Amino acid sequence: MSIFTINSIGAVSNERKTPEDDFWGEVVSVINLEKEWDISCLDGIESFSHLEIIYLFHLVSDENIQYTSRHPRNNKEFPKVGIFAQRGKNRPNKIGATIVEFIKKEELSIMVKGLDAIDGTPIIDIKPVMKEFLPKGETKQPLWASELMENYWE
């Protein structure tokens, strides 16, 4: 296993103070980049409707990391699946990724909608969403995943 360092480029500011499983769709967040970034690092970002935000689940303690299969959300109604077959926060590298709606930028900050990260979450990277990187054709997922996500974006 190789060791490497990833530094935060900024942090999330929003009204969500604790991790919750649902109702992220209307959450508006501001991502404030660290002051050492040149303001030009966001040039052109407003020409994209959506961004992919890569962030760190910074409140997950090492003893809660999942390395094996489990029931998503610890719900026995869902089948046991491996950590890499779900999007839970207790991941080995504690990395989250979400596609969000871009709202606006102001100096070293961007406002987005639908980011499922709590206030203070460290941001690792920001990428523009380009349709050529989205899946080709129809995507599929098991029924339990659709049930789990039923209220996630409301």
Note the pLDDT of residue 26: 84
What is the rounded CA–CA span in Å between residue 45 and residue 6?
22
AA identity, residue 30: V
- Entry pTM: 0.92
Note the pLDDT of residue 41: 98
The phi, psi pair for 15, rounded to 5°, reads: -85, -15
pLDDT band at 17 (very low <50, low <70, confident <90, very high): very high
Two tokens at 4?
């490497």
